[in-house]
Each structure stands twice: as structure tokens, then as C-alpha cells.
Amino acid sequence: MAVTKTVLVTGAGSGIGRAISQCLSKNGYSLILLGRKQDNLETTRNSLEYPDQHQCISCDIRLPKDITKALEKSKINSLYALVANAGIGGENSYPSDDRWHEIIDTNLTGTYNTIQECLPYLKRSKAPFKKIVILASILARLGVPGYSAYCASKAGLLGLNRSLAAELAQEKILVNALCPGWVDTKMAHEGLQAFSEALKISKEKAFEQAMTDVPLGKMSQPDEIAQFTAFLISDAQTSITGQTLDINNGAMMP
């Protein structure tokens, strides 16, 4: 009988995190869903295969002690994989109403905190290879006016990815980062709305303009990101580590 593998997913209450959780539950993993809003986490859990096999725990990844308490509350002994998906978006402006620390502390420091707190559990897993997947963004590679904090936070994740992949290779922990472009989520639509308001055009026109830089002319679906994540943490994958993998409909071809 196969041993159930436990995977922790942050930012599991909506968007890409929810899609990843749904996909992984269908693949037989036992999930620990972390996020700030318990109600959203419960909605995700109720959408999964066998909801009772999964846990949802409210947690602020900016606070290492919060992550420690969440892991203790889960009562797990080990983790097979971590999907570090949690993050926030939006603009920042210096000095008034500057969101620099809020965005950096969540997206970059929060991901670092999560990985460090989960490492002892990953190291205790008896799986031949353990996996970490970090959700970055196409804006880790591109600059956008007004998004300095978001771009910096996501670019920082790529450096964190490479460093940890080298550091953890001897532990057989594979670390990779995904850089999605436009994905059909609430965050993307909020970005389009802000774009349309700034240019004083309709949201439909804003979408058309955004897609002029996307060769395939479309957004990705959250499930596409989820399926790719599922492959990266699967037993079939034992050779990819330290890589930044782009899913952006051709918008960036490094």
C-alpha cells in the first residue's frame, strides 16, 4: 500500500493556490492549506477530493512563529513537498502610502520564512527526493512602472530559488521556481481594472492592449499552472532543480 504524501500549499485560499490544491488532491496527496483567511481555506478544502483528508490553518507567513504554530498544529512528522505560492500584488508609491515593506515582507521574506520553517519536516521525509516549488512571476524578469516592490520581490525569489537549490541538493531536495504571465485570476483582473482606469479606457480595451505583448494572445488558466506544479513535485521528476520555468504564452522568451 502506497504511503500518503503530505504537501503544504501556501496561499491556498484562492486563485492559483486553490487550483494547485485541487489538482494535487486528485493526485492523492494529503494537503495542509495555509492562508490568512480561514473562510477561503475552508472553501478550497470543500472543493477537494476527500475534504476530510486535508487540513486548513490560518497563518501569516510574514511571521515565522505563525508558521511554526501552524506546523505544530498540523501534527505532521514530515513533508514530501512545499508549494510556496502565497503572495500579494499591486502598485507601490514612495513615500506616501508606500506598500514596499508589505509586498516584500509577504512575497519574498514570507516565502523565505515558510521554506526555512518547513525544511526540518522535508528533511525527515523518507522519500528519495523532496520538492519545493516557488511561485514567482513574469515580473521577476520584466520591469513595470509603479510595481517596483512587486518586481523586486519576485526577482528576489529567483535568487532564493538558485541558492536553495544548490544548498539543498545534498539533501535531495529539489527547488524550482515558476514564472507565470497573465493568469485568469482575481489578481490579474484587478490589475487589468487598474490599467484601464489609469488609461481611461474600458477593461476590455485594457485586455486587448495587454495581449498585444502576448504572442498567443490569451491568459493561462490556473489549472495549467497547477498541472505543471504537479509534475514538478511528482516522482517522475528527479532531475530538475534550481530552474526558473516560464509559463506566459510567449510573452517572455529568455
Active-site residues, by number, are 150
With CA atoms as reference, report the closest residue to 175 among 137, 131, 135. Answer: 131
Count of alpha carbons within 13 angstroms of residue 61, beta-carbon side? 31
Q: Before 145, cis peptide (omega within 30)?
A: no
Phi, psi angle pair for 92, to nearest 5° = -140, 150
Would you state the cell numbers that stand for residue 40, as one nine-digit string?
477561503
Q: Say if residues 145 and 139 touch (Cβ distance below 8 Å).
A: no
Contacts of 156 (CB under 8 A, 6+ apart): 104, 107, 108
